[in-house]
Amino acid sequence: MPLAAMASASSSSSRCHPTLAVALLCAIAAVSSAAAGGAGGRGPITTAGRNYTRVCDPARFAALGLDASRFRYCDASLPYADRVRDLVGRMTLEEKVRNLGDQAEGAPRVGLPPYRWWGEALHGVSDVGPGGTWFGDVVPGATSFPLVINAAAAFNESLWRAVGGAVSTEIRAMYNLGHAELTYWSPNINVVRDPRWGRASETPGEDPFVVGRYAVNFVRGMQDVGSGRTAAAGDPFARPIKVSSCCKHFAAYDVDAWFKADRLTFDAQVQERDMVETFERPFEMCIRDGDASCVMCSYNRVNGIPACADARLLTETVRDQWQLHGYIVSDCDSVRVMVRDAKWLNYTGVEATAAAMKAGLDLDCGMFWEGARDFFTTYGVDAVRQGKIMEADVDNALTNVYLTLMRLGFFDGMPEFESLGATDVCSKEHKELAADAARQGMVLLKNDAHRLPLDPNKIKSVSLVGLLEHINATDVMLGDYRGKPCRVVTPYNAIRKMVNATYVHACDNGACDTAEGMGRAARTAKIADATIVIAGLNMSVERESNDREDLLLPWNQTGWINAVAEASPYPIVLVIMSAGGVDVSFAQNNLKIGAIVWAGYPGEEGGTAIADVLFGKHNPGGRLPLTWFKNEYVNQIPMTSMALRPDAARGYPGRTYKFYDGPAVLYPFGHGLSYTNFSYASATTGATVTIPIGAWEHCKPLTYKSGAAPSPAPACPALNVASHRCDEAVSFAVTVRNTGGVGGGHVVPVYTAPRAEVGDAPRKQLVAFRRVFVPAGAAVEVPFTLNVCRDLAIVEETAYTVVPSGASAVIVGDDALELSFAVTINLAA
């Protein structure tokens, strides 16, 4: 049936589209126009009108009238540190300062070319930023993977690493073609502390352990070259990296713009326990376990001090304690924000520049669209001349950034990637990986009476109802920080392939809930074997610089969804596009809404993933990486309260699944249904671990709930893990059996919890997870090994991380599927 005949909206309406054809043609035209807009390809390094693949090419130096053999920094036989010392030592103060910003000017006098540091690769190669990455001619686009919140819902570490690897391969290919640089400021690993945060789409969710494991795997995928290339003589600053990855935004950043609070002036008042337990943990994992080569500091202040001028955060913690092997960059314009917005200590530009550099900031990103230079470049020379910083501070910053470029092969090349080209961008394999990632991140929230999957052999016609931007989601599915996609498979496109008779009612925001619009939607729902409603949010509701004020569906979507459900002769299927949770209690409680699927923002292949789940080609196995609260939550606690634990005096119910103790939520963290059923079994029913306390170690007190302290008190209530070798472990296996009739992926989560009388402890905390595929009727054994210090520890109110004595619980599973056993810790003094 022709597309125009399938559309149910009237052509006389100025706000409802008579057909999707116009929108589809417009989208095609826009993509074609963008693809045609690029200039000819250029090499990664352009000098004197010619293109070169490496800085230290003798021909390039000759073009500058220089002899490469006279520059020790181009002697590949020397250690990187010696070479960078030679490079920095040759530069004048003015030349040095001109290379402290994201648009480094280079130093032609000594053969150093310009370099644009700013790159974004949140869920694919993006052209956000001042031109370091661009699309056109031979590279019209790059693979747009699902948003990070979708990827997190897969709970699949190998998937996360594969996506990072695919993104870095496309970056390397584009670099060879002159379309990209080698430094990318991704991933965003801030914990989603509050469900209203506008940037939830960019992050892996509310659990610091999940966020940290995502960071480790994505960074390893981006950076790791392979087993054949390792650090010279064990020097981690010499380990080759494929593409530099940057974990951001450090620290305690999760307020963008909520009523009168905004990120530029917000002072996050954070207790030390919360810093250690929640806000710092993903970054520590990213650096220690992922070996990230970059950390970005955030706009906000933390306990009165700007994050980008806090020596305790940047130098003592990131560089010294966690051993960062790389550089620290400001979120763009953060140093200027100290002066212009926060008015911190009434500092001048020179003073703010000096404070940030002395705190450990290496590179200052400026706001290119304001036409203003970064502060380091603007005020760096004056800061030295006025005695605010030493020139050696500048040298140290440049050493960190140019060591990173050495490791990337910017100076010498990297032969293993030099063959990559245009065919390695938007490859068939990468598009299928994007589709698989989208499938794995789909979460089945409700499925009454097995409404899903729809059987294409029985369903001969489908009514597709919703906002045009969701049905024909050429933009919404791509989310924020995206580039130009290879292609976009919309829900409409993909569902049409499943069921040819597809009746469509698509309207713009605000038009669906008119009497005419609701009437047409209801009539559309009556004429098909099944009705699929696609609804949700978009980047006008949740994005950077825009936090939400409530958790409801905007544009009165609730009203017309209920109207469609009432009109349909069969229970409808509701698909939600969003990043943060949405209070769809109305749909959960409506018997005429048979199934709800959370699709998130699933990237360029999202339509395929949605259709595959709805029609049973893929059995959904995703889990929510966020708690979905009911809308009443927004009236219980202000977004600006940074505390995680409940506060009875203020009536605050706490945050995230770890601490929330208020009324029942809509869907808990980890919720996700399947088209089949699973069961758990384990031979382990308990374990005992004896930890000897050395003469150099000291027991720590433990906080108990009021009236719950044990009697007699244990001789050693808790052990500080910082003083212990931490070799002790508990190993067990869980047998996951598929008792249904269809194979499926299943996430096995493992939580721990201290004994009940311990006060102010997490209700439970995730310490491990595995995603496995279990064929119908089969069983898979899933092994786990928990390190006692890491996985059974809690953070005390003193901010010590301790292992409590006594019986802690190991809890496997979520919702109704759960088993648990006790691990008794004996601390033997």
Specify the amino acid at residue 391: E
Classify burial at 715, counting beta carbons within 10 Å of its beta carbon; exposed 0-12, middle 13-18, buried 19 or more.
exposed
306 CB-contact burial (10 Å; exposed 0-12 / middle 13-18 / buried 19+) = buried
Predicted local confidence at residue 231, as pLDDT: 62
Q: What is the pLDDT of residue 354?
A: 98
At residue 232, the pLDDT reads 62
The rounded distance, in Å, linking the Cα atoms of 22 and 5 is 13
Taking the C-alpha atoms of residue 322 and residue 314, their distance in angstroms, rounded to an integer, is: 10
Please enumerate in sequence order all residues whose Cβ is within 8 A of that of 92, keeping only pairs 6 or more positions apart, or say none. Answer: none
Helix (H) or strand (E) holding 29: helix 21-36
Beta bridge partners of 825: 689, 806
Half-sphere exposure of residue 76: CA atoms within 13 angstroms, side-chain side: 12
What is the C-alpha to C-alpha distance for residues 734 and 751, in angstroms, rounded to an integer? Answer: 13
pLDDT of residue 372: 64
| C-beta separation of 276 from 801 below 8 A | yes
Q: Which residues pair with 112 in a beta bridge?
A: 107
Q: Which amino acid is at 276?
A: V
Alpha-carbon span 320 to 318, nearest angstrom: 6
Active-site hit among 57, 331, 362, 374: 331
Query: How many other C-beta atoms lie within 10 A of the C-beta of residue 182?
Result: 25
The whole-angstrom separation of Cα 788 and Cα 752 is: 10
Q: Report the SS3 class of residue 318.
A: helix
pLDDT score of 15: 30
Domains recognised in the chain with CATH numbers: 41-70 (no CATH), 80-116+244-413 (3.20.20.300), 428-650 (3.40.50.1700), 678-827 (2.60.40.10)
Q: Which residues, in sequence order, are bridge partners of residue 769?
A: 749
State which amino acid sits at residue 764: K
Among this protein's residues, is 331 annotated catalytic?
A: yes
In the numeric block, the tokens 């207790």 are attached to: 271
User: Distance between CA 527 and CA 525 in Å, rounded?
Assistant: 6
Q: What is the pLDDT of residue 9?
A: 29
Low-confidence ranges of the chain (pLDDT < 50): 1-41, 369
What pLDDT, on a 0 to 100 scale, did the predictor assign at position 27?
33
Q: Are 781 and 737 in contact (CB under 8 A)?
A: no
How many CA atoms are closer than 13 Å to the CA of 691, on its beta-carbon side? 32
Radius of gyration in angstroms for the set of CA atoms belonging to the chain, rounded to a whole number: 28
Helix, coil or strand: residue 176: helix
pLDDT score of 368 = 58
**Residues with Cβ < 8 Å from 63, sequence gap 6 or more?**
47, 48, 50
Indicate the DSSP class of residue 221: H
Peptide bond between residue 18 and the one before it cis (omega within 30 degrees of 0): no
**Per-residue pLDDT tens over the stretch 752-791:** 999 999 999 999 999 999 999 999 999 999 999 999 999 9
The pTM of this model reads 0.94
